[in-house]
Amino acid sequence: MFGLDAYTFETFWPSMILIGVMVGALAWGWVKVRHLMEEDGDK
């Protein structure tokens, strides 16, 4: 049904890497914001 030939795979995997990097950056930013919010709440 969702067969991947060589051409489709070659064009598909860079997009998946980019999406993974973006998700990682968002997760890292969310963790940093949570950490800063917890620090601010202690004052």
What is the amino acid identity at position 8?
Answer: T
User: Rounded to whole angstroms, how far apart are CA atoms 26 and 37?
Assistant: 16
Write down the pTM of the prediction: 0.66
Name the DSSP letter for residue 2: -
What confidence tens digit (pLDDT) does each residue in 4-42 have?
A: 788 888 888 889 999 999 999 999 999 999 999 988 876
Dist. CA 22–CA 26, nearest whole Å: 6
Structural element, H or E, at residue 27: helix 6-42
